[in-house]
Chain A
Amino acid sequence: MSDHVESDAHAENPQSCHVHVVPVKVLVGVFLALVALTVVTVEAAKFDTGSLDVIVSMAIATAKATLVVFIFMHLWYDKPLNRLAFFFSIVFAAFFLCMILLDSHAYDDYVKGFQQDQAAIAAPAAAPAAAPDATPAADAPATDAPATDAKAAPEKKTEPEAKPAEK
């Protein structure tokens, strides 16, 4: 309700609306910076930097987004409430992305086991014999790496079907 008090202050002259007007120079400057950053990101993508690639291009995209949000969208000069609203939407979007990435990678070991199991089926051998030992291994799949995976494979084979159904 402090807004109401604030608008009362302008009430003597209701035909006024005080906002920040961005100068043309700043607008054109931001546009040129955005184009320059676009060129940079296209050129940077031509170098093979491996896994850094995504990070670099996302960093440049975020720099561009920051310019657009703060200058073109006036958020720099805007009310704290609007800034807060947008900030939290970004935070929650990031949170959302992190959570689904975490979730989808939680099953990596099951998938790996399933794939190895498929390979084992192609070459049918000792896999069924080792099945009874596999029960504890399936509970801690992250710790037992390649050594026990072949043994745990038949147990894990059932897991990928069971787990998504539970969700």
Chain B
Amino acid sequence: MNTAATTTTDDHADSHDHEHHDPRLAHHFDSHQQQFDTGKLGIWLFLVTEVLFFSGLFGFYAVYRSLHPEVFLYASQFLDTVLGAANTVVLLFSSLTMAWGVRCAQLGQTRGLMVCLVVTLACAAIFLGVKSFEYTEKAHHGLLWAGMYHSPEHHDAAAADGAAGAGDHAHDEAAAAGDHGDDELFEKTKHTLSYMTTVLWVVIVISGIALGLLFKNPNKKTLATVAGCVLVSAAGMVIGAYSSIGYHHFGHAEKPTDEEILMAETVPAEYAAQKEKVPEPKLAGTFFSVYFCMTGLHAIHIIGGMIAISWLIVRTAHGAFTTYYFGAVDFVGLYWHLVDLIWIYLFPLLYLIN
């Protein structure tokens, strides 16, 4: 059956070669329809492996949460729900623009496709920017994976180990001043992020200059588009990082003030008792192992998706996609939606534990 099929295909393709060779149709396919369907089955099989790949980590999560629910209850309070929800919406929006881009590609609207892809790329970069803020903040709070985890309970363990004076001092200070330590850590976080944003600004300037120089040159279309993609990615990350810093500033100016008023009204001992409500479980660091594994792998997928989308943008700039050849857009879109899908599950599993 196979041999019969291939011989007819070869004849067909050869006749095409002599008359008018279609560079968009690979030799081993009869028609664009067949090429598209084959590619689609291939990308679905890839997505199947992706689902099974991530299911290992979801298994890690499920086993650990079912055995130690108190760890998740305790540790998820250190994740900022608002940032997580904002990231969810950003990613959903990028999914919308991706799906819209596929539609544009199917209808042959090159300009619309370009706009959709650029917006998708920018959203992905914003997601990474917010994520980098979250990671930096956690690193400064000592909320790292199990081996690197430092108790946020004002280093009780350190006090017990021997650095008793310093630990007690920190504890007293924290009990008295409440959010003072958080402020300091936020400043540190901002400082660390400023390195990243400085690098990103340099990248923005360089890629902006490159784009400006190469834009008019028809021979350097690829380079110019790559520069544009880099520009959009860097700008998105800067926007993401700054907006999460801005949100933290804003939230910091409003929310803890109420808390501070409340604290001033209540007796300190009572307030301390309130804070002790959720005791720190022994294995709290393992939650952050799960957190960094899952969100880290997801972030790697986002970066991969950004590279793939940049590739699509370059090809779109060359006018590669037509109403009968848009498979690549559709396939990258499917991959992107899967990345979105995984985040849809990660968000409630990590951020919304009550």
Q: Which A residues form the contact surface with B (CB < 8 A)? A: 1, 3-4, 7-8, 10-11, 14-19, 21-22, 24, 27-28, 30-31, 34-35, 38-39, 41-42, 45-49, 53, 57-58, 60-61, 64-65, 68-69, 71-74, 78-79, 81-82, 85-86, 88-90, 92-93, 96-97, 100-101, 104-105
Contact of A93 with B55 in the complex, beta carbons under 8 Å: yes
In the complex, A81→B44 CA distance in Å?
10
**A interface secondary structure, majority:** helix
Contact of B34 with A104 in the complex, beta carbons under 8 Å: no
Contact of A11 with B44 in the complex, beta carbons under 8 Å: no
In the complex, A14→B30 CA distance in Å?
7
**B interface secondary structure, majority:** helix
In the complex, A57→B352 CA distance in Å?
8
List of B residues within 8 angstroms of A21 by Cβ: 103, 106-107
B269 part of interface (Cβ distance < 8 Å): no
Contact of B31 with A89 in the complex, beta carbons under 8 Å: no
List of A residues within 8 angstroms of B353 by Cβ: 45, 53
Number of interface residues of B (CB under 8 A): 61
List of B residues within 8 angstroms of A45 by Cβ: 81, 348, 352-354
B215 part of interface (Cβ distance < 8 Å): no
Give me 6 A-to-B residue pairs in the complex whose CB atoms sit less than 8 angstroms apart, sorted by A's number: A27-B100, A34-B95, A41-B348, A61-B348, A68-B344, A93-B51
Q: Which of B1, B22, B323 contacts A1 (CB 8 A)?
A: B1
List of B residues within 8 angstroms of A22 by Cβ: 99, 103
List of B residues within 8 angstroms of A82 by Cβ: 40-41, 44
List of A residues within 8 angstroms of B103 by Cβ: 21-22, 24, 27
In the complex, A104→B85 CA distance in Å?
32
Minimum CB distance partner of B25 in chain A = A14
Q: A93-B55, A96-B59, A104-B67 are in contact. Are A58 and B30 (CB under 8 A)?
A: no
In the complex, A17→B327 CA distance in Å?
10
List of B residues within 8 angstroms of A69 by Cβ: 337, 341
Q: A21-B106, A60-B348 are in contact. Are A38 and B85 (CB under 8 A)?
A: yes
Minimum CB distance partner of B323 in chain A = A17
Q: A14-B32, A101-B66 are in contact. List 14 more A-B contacts (CB 8 A).
A: A7-B37, A11-B31, A14-B16, A17-B324, A24-B103, A38-B85, A41-B348, A45-B353, A58-B348, A61-B348, A71-B99, A85-B44, A85-B48, A96-B59
Q: Which B residues form the contact surface with A (CB < 8 A)? A: 1, 5, 12, 16, 22, 25, 30-34, 36-37, 40-41, 44-45, 47-48, 51-52, 55, 58-59, 62-63, 66-67, 81, 85, 88-89, 92-93, 95-96, 98-100, 103, 106-107, 323-326, 330, 333-334, 337-338, 340-341, 344-345, 347-349, 352-354
Q: Which of B41, B323, B354 contacts A85 (CB 8 A)?
A: B41
Minimum CB distance partner of B81 in chain A = A42
In the complex, A142→B62 CA distance in Å?
22
Minimum CB distance partner of A47 in chain B = B354
Contact of A72 with B37 in the complex, beta carbons under 8 Å: no
Contact of B323 with A89 in the complex, beta carbons under 8 Å: no
Q: A93-B51, A97-B58 are in contact. Are A68 and B95 (CB under 8 A)?
A: yes
